[in-house]
Chains A and B, each alone.
Chain A
Amino acid sequence: MTEFLAATIRIATPLVFTALGGILSERAGVFAVGLEGMMLAGAFAGVITAFLSGSMLAGVAASVLGGAAMAALAAVATTRFRAEQMVTGLAINILAVGLTSFLLRGLLGHGEAPTIRVSPLAAMPVPGLASLPVLGPVLFSQPVLTYVALVAAVAIYVFLVRTRPGLTLRAVGENPAAAFAGGADPLRVRMLAVTCGGALAGVGGAVLSLQQVGTFTDAMTNGRGYLALAAIIVGRWMPFGTLLACLLFGAADALQLRVQGLRLPVSSYVIQMTPYVVSLAMLAGFGRTAQLPAAIGTAFARDRPSS
């Protein structure tokens, strides 16, 4: 059981980073459909840099840049050029898959898929707390990025609720005209939000490649970006709710890995479906997507009303 809980937290970590990044973007009014691509870009940048430089820290830094770069492309397209947000996110995902696989082969493998190996980040037990029963191995013997994830959740919450820039960001997502009347530049705010969100998603990718497996394989995010999107929905666009949702989804994933051994009557595929079904049920059940940031998906133009 402890192993199950610890695995849950481990599996949820990349989701947490990515979902937190998505919250920044969506709260500012931009659909975060491109999280998958930003995560993948971060995973790639992280492991390549760590491999080439030998430094994990450099790898994590690179993952931030990788995710942010992908996000910047989406940000410019959707705010400056008013491209349709959801479909641009899809384009980013397609692009990221191609770009990362291509660069992997082109830069390192001389045309073929090389195998890169980096020793994954080890668990860092917190002295003292790690020896607590149950909580010790579950919560306090995780690798460093997992701790960072939990801190990040708190930080994002504080940012959104307790700081002026956070207030402005939320206003841009709800009613950009009101934010504009208050002196903010909605386009700039959105671009920053999306890019920072991408940076966080990049770290989420680094968790995958640097902390969990120690290598990069084609399209290794495997839909986690979309799961993060679902987590944001279930978590009602709030950091702590989303954190819980990520843990829930992590538990589902941990469960389906163990189900084969346990011979439960439920198939692993059905378990994999639950995050999506639950999100859909939440959206449908709470009627009329009332908790969505009100201005999400709309373009903001100074001289005409939002469309």
Chain B
Amino acid sequence: MPPASRRVDLAAVRALAPPLLAVLLAFGVTGILIVAAGKNPLLAYWSLAHGAFGSWDRIAVGLNRATPYALTGVGIALCFRARVINIGGEGQLALGGLAATWVALHMVPAPRPIATLCALGGGVLAGAAWAGLAAGIRLKRGVHEVLATLLLNFVGLLIVSEVLQGDLGEPGSGFPQSPLLPAASWLGRLVRGTDLHVGVLIALAAVAVGHVALWRTPFGFRLRILGASAPAAAYAGISPARALMSVMLLSGGLAGLAGAIEVLGVHYRLIDGFAHGFGFNAVAIALLGGLNPLAVLPAGLFFGFLETGAVAMQRAVGVPTPLVAVIQGLTMVFVLSAMGLTAGRRRV
């Protein structure tokens, strides 16, 4: 292997040090909180781990949960690399699920896997379009992409709620959700007998493609230069507008894909609020992964397993599940602080 890429992997590993420390610190602080609540933190963490990894069933759920995180996280990491902040992941994901639902419901006679593929494709297009809209507003009207993606985020979620009340809704179900999707469109199981679905492979593929794209292609090279130094990028003839649009479309498409996977692989229908928390958590995951697509995978797994383990932790030790959000939030704050301090000394 040429030394250049070996060095890249080494740098990726070294870049994990501050996030790892941040996680440990977060666990430490949370441990104090657990003590304040009158419980034993070590016991709590042990049951957390057990709940996450204790059985194959549990691991399957954790992997499922990590899938949308990893997918969206890769896209957001690429955005961050080019100094673009996309925090509208939740809306893009929700619209992706919406599109997938619509396609699945309207492609009734189609067989597997065509129905699934078309539905997934619909999800990608919808997510990409929504992110592209924000990018367009940014490029044409100068609105900062954070504000544009944030505001469109809420609009997207409301669109999904609205549609579920009307055309796509299942009347009489007492809850805003779509009818059950035709089985031909469902994502297949990876391991029989568990909940683990094929989406995990898609996420793995996305992580690999993201990594390769960032480190081995001219496109990724351009992103990294743009993120390192805007004047140098101009000097190299890189168009910031083109880079922003491509990276937003890419991340929107990945978020939409994640939404489609959730709908087709986990719920088998569109449920109001299914996208809750994914967008902002994906930002956290991208940061935790040091903006390296490969490292987004363990970060996504971390979040996914954290969430599945939390239920067991509550049942076993009585430590409430919201603790997980505390760990996630603290981790983010610590990683951001570390990144702020070391800006300019990171591997580009």
Contacts and interface: CB of A to CB of B under 8 A. Distances in A.
B287 A87 contact: yes
Interface string B320-346: 101111111110110011111101000
Interface string A174-202: 00000000000000000000000000000
Contacts of B39: 106
B261 interface: no
Interface stretch (A17-25, A143-151, A277-285): A277-285
B109 interface: no
B209 interface: no
Contacts of A98: 322-329
A102 B148 contact: no
Given A226-B150, A273-B155, A102 B323 contact: yes
Interface in B76-107: 85, 87
Contacts of B85: 84, 86-87
A106 B37 contact: yes
Interface stretch (A75-83, A162-170, A209-217, A240-248): A75-83
A84 B320 contact: no
A272 B165 CA distance: 14
Interface string A90-130: 11111111111111011100111100000000000000000
A287 interface: yes
A39 interface: no
A284 B280 contact: no
Interface residues of B, number: 55
B162 interface: yes
B152, B155, B322 interface centre (most CB from chain A within 10 Å)? B322
Interface stretch (B4-12, B52-60, B64-72, B135-143): B135-143
B151 interface: yes
A307 to B, nearest CB: 8
B322 A218 contact: yes
Interface in A265-307: 267, 269-270, 272-273, 276-277, 279-280, 283-285, 287-289, 292, 297, 299
A68 interface: no
B147 A91 contact: no
B326 A111 contact: no
Contacts of A113: 320
Interface string B188-207: 00000000000000000000
Contact of B326 (A95, A269, A297): A95
Contact of A92 (B143, B147, B319, B333): B333
A279 B333 contact: no
A86 B162 contact: no
A88 B322 contact: no
Contacts of B341: 81-82
A273 B30 CA distance: 37
Contact of A99 (B146, B155, B326): B326
B144 interface: yes
B87 A86 contact: yes
Contacts of A54: none
Contacts of A110: 318
A270 B155 CA distance: 9
A91 B33 contact: no
Q: Interface SS of chain A: helix, strand, loop or mixed?
A: helix
B82 to A, nearest CB: 14
B324 A280 contact: no
A244 B278 CA distance: 33
B340 A92 contact: no
Given A81-B340, A87-B283, A87-B287, A95 B329 contact: yes
A111, A229, A267, A297 interface centre (most CB from chain B within 10 Å)? A111
A64 interface: no
Contacts of A81: 336-338, 340-341
B328 A87 contact: no
A156 interface: no
Nearest to B160: A269
B137 A280 contact: yes
Contacts of A277: 151, 155
A276 B38 CA distance: 43
Nearest to A80: B337
A276 B137 CA distance: 14
A289 B138 CA distance: 10
A106 B314 CA distance: 11
A107 B39 CA distance: 11
B20 to A, nearest CB: 17
Contacts of A100: 322
B284 interface: yes
B329 A96 contact: yes
A127 B32 CA distance: 50
A112 B326 CA distance: 17
A265 B155 CA distance: 19
Interface of A: 31, 33, 73-74, 77-78, 81-84, 86-88, 90-103, 105-107, 110-113, 218, 223, 226, 229-230, 233, 267, 269-270, 272-273, 276-277, 279-280, 283-285, 287-289, 292, 297, 299
Chain A to chain B: the 8 pairs with minimum beta-carbon distance, closest first: A98-B325, A95-B329, A106-B37, A101-B322, A91-B332, A82-B340, A111-B318, A83-B336
28 contacts: A33-B150, A77-B340, A81-B341, A82-B340, A82-B343, A86-B146, A87-B87, A90-B280, A90-B332, A95-B329, A96-B329, A98-B322, A99-B33, A99-B326, A103-B37, A106-B39, A107-B36, A269-B159, A269-B161, A273-B154, A273-B155, A273-B159, A277-B151, A280-B148, A280-B152, A285-B141, A289-B142, A289-B144
